């Protein structure tokens, strides 16, 4: 599948003033770059927000027959209006005294016209599945039947979606890719970790290292919102260039280039098509691409499926500020009067809830508080010096109950994946993955399933500066669970040196 062509050249319009200073705007040339290989063509209606910009910039108030409207030149908005001899007549192409020429950057103005990010995303969807593709239809119904999951994921996305869409637009990549973190992590920047995939974009350690997200003491780069987004889009762009297909690029992002290369070679050797839908790939990857396309369909037609995407303003949610070394987020949260968890959600890479011990670091702060934070940096530095964190100490966790080996279970009358998931304390997704069960395939009586029982329990020694919220996020559990497992409450807070039990899910 070929990439979209580059950004369109500035669009040239003619604005003709009437006797009362009114204006009529004519479009001289209007073309939309599209690709025939699975990318949607944008219908004319999707450019409608532009006309509001033109009208707001060009219409003058009142009837001023003796005064010509002024020249307007707003370079910051990539919009220029000129009147007089330089203007070209719409019909003849010749200059007209009462005409103006409007030149503006179509892409930039169009993106700025949206008030809601879901509308902006909807109008820029580019990936098109084949007609009546059953795998996409299945996942459309799957997600549509789980509106709470979509709503929670959309709320998680609130601080991140604008940045991702801006980066995709800047690189001229399909806006659909902004939905990939919903597939990967439900937009939870703390998802995964350790030797597993981690962060919004779920980078594995080796792939993260390859794209500049190696581990640094006290800092998990794979969870860094800005750096991981940059790395993910670099990786996807590289894969698309390699395969000349966004769908194959997505498949390789999930399964690895080697697996996709082998599938392509196998089909070529047998004279079979080499598009994504024709390849023999792991079941997880077979589902992965249709999931993304299904989400695109739900964004495009939410009313049809009874989905409500919570409104997210089309404006930056955060700005980057350089914090001094060894500075706790809690200190900044108190200065700015914002919840510590809000700063933590924007900065999941900071393992201790603080900048690294030996160097300054870029910290994301809410856009509404960025200017205040810049003005109070000296105050923050003084607080950090007065409230230092000790150097990080590697703490060994001791397995109290090691993970058990997989066991076999024989399907009986009345068994379902849902009932078995509850019986064994695992998820339906895990049962499907362990047994390579495609969606929609029924269980058979007598069929043997592999089940890996959870959980294993570890102990964790509380360090100075730790909070329940930070410990919970670090281990992928909830604060309420930590409180229940360890008899912790507001009247019995955690103390440095205290040992906590943490039940980890075994996958």
Which residues are part of the catalytic machinery? 184
Q: Could you tell me where the beta strands, DSSP code E, fall in 310-427?
A: 318-323, 361-366, 399-401, 407-410
Question: Of 287, 410, 313, 248, nearest to 112 (Cα)?
Answer: 313
Residues near 342 by beta carbon (within 8 Å), at least 6 away in sequence? 333, 366
Beta bridge partners of 16: 24, 99
Element (H, E) at 502: strand 499-504
Beta bridge partners of 127: 39
Question: Of 128, 228, 216, nearest to 187 (Cα)?
Answer: 228
Distance CA(80)–CA(100), nearest Å, equals: 10
Question: Are the C-beta atoms of residues 191 and 202 closer than 8 Å to each other?
Answer: yes
Cα first-last separation, the chain: 35
Beta bridge partners of 198: 192, 203
Question: Are the C-beta atoms of residues 354 and 380 closer than 8 Å to each other?
Answer: no
Residues near 390 by beta carbon (within 8 Å), at least 6 away in sequence? 463, 464, 465
Phi then psi for 481, rounded to 5 degrees? Answer: -70, -45
CA distances to 198, 207, 321, 361 from 211, rounded to whole Å, are 14, 6, 23, 19
- Residue in this structure with the two tokens 């507001």, named with its chain if needed: 490
Question: Which tokens in the block code for residue 117?
Answer: 């990010």
Question: Are the C-beta atoms of residues 500 and 486 closer than 8 Å to each other?
Answer: yes
Question: Are the C-beta atoms of residues 252 and 282 closer than 8 Å to each other?
Answer: no
Across 159-183, b (16+ Cβ under 10 Å) vs e yields bbbbbbbebbbeeebbbbbbbbbbb
The SS3 of residue 85 is coil
Distance CA(125)–CA(132), nearest Å, equals: 18
Q: Cα 227 from chain centroid?
A: 12
Angle at which helices 257-269 and 246-255 cross, to 10°: 120
Distance CA(290)–CA(500), nearest Å, equals: 41
């Amino acid at each position: 599948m070929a990439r979209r062509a580059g950004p369109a050249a500035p669009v040239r319009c003619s604005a003709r003033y009437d006797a009362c200073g009114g204006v009529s705007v004519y479009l001289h040339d209007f073309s939309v770059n599209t690709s025939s290989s699975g990318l949607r063509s944008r219908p004319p209606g999707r450019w409608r927000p532009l006309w509001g910009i033109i009208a707001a910039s060009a219409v003058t108030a009142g009837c001023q027959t003796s005064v010509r409207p002024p020249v307007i030149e707003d370079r910051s908005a990539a919009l220029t209006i000129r009147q007089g001899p330089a203007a070209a007549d719409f019909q003849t192409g010749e200059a007209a005294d009462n005409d103006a020429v409007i030149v503006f950057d179509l892409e930039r103005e169009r993106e700025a016209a949206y008030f809601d990010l879901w509308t902006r995303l909807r109008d820029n969807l580019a990936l098109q599945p084949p007609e009546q593709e059953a795998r996409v239809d299945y996942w459309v119904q799957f997600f549509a039947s789980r509106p709470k999951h979509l709503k929670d994921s959309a709320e998680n996305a609130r601080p991140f979606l604008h940045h991702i869409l801006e980066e995709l637009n800047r690189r001229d990549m399909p806006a659909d890719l902004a939905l990939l973190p919903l597939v990967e992590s439900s937009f939870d920047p703390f998802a995964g970790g350790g030797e597993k995939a981690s962060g919004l974009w779920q980078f594995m350690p080796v792939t993260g290292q390859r794209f500049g997200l190696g581990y640094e003491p006290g800092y998990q780069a794979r969870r860094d919102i800005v750096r991981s987004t940059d790395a993910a889009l670099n990786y996807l762009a590289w894969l698309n260039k390699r395969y000349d297909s966004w769908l194959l690029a997505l498949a390789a992002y999930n399964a690895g280039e080697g697996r996709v290369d082998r599938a392509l070679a196998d089909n070529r050797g047998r004279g079979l098509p080499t598009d994504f839908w024709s390849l023999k790939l792991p079941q997880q990857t077979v589902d992965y691409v249709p999931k993304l396309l299904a989400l695109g369909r739900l964004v495009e037609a939410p009313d049809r499926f009874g989905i409500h995407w919570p409104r997210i303003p089309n404006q930056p949610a955060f700005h980057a500020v350089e914090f001094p070394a060894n500075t706790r987020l809690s200190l900044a949260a108190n200065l700015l009067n914002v919840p510590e968890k809000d700063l933590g959600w924007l900065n999941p890479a900071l393992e201790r809830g603080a900048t690294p011990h030996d160097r300054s670091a870029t910290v994301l702060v809410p856009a509404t508080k960025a200017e205040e934070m810049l003005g109070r940096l000296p105050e923050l530095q003084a607080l950090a010096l007065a409230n230092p964190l000790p150097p990080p100490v590697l703490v060994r966790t001791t397995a109290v109950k090691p993970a058990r080996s997989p066991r076999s279970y024989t399907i009986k009358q009345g068994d379902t994946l849902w009932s078995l998931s509850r019986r064994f304390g695992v998820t339906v997704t895990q049962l499907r993955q362990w047994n390579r069960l495609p969606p929609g395939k029924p269980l058979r009586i007598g069929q043997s399933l592999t089940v890996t029982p959870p959980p294993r329990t570890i102990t964790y020694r509380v360090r100075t500066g730790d909070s329940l919220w930070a410990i919970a996020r670090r281990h992928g559990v909830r604060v309420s669970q930590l409180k229940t497992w360890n008899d912790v409450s507001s009247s019995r807070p955690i103390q440095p040196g205290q040992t906590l039990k943490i039940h980890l899910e075994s996958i």
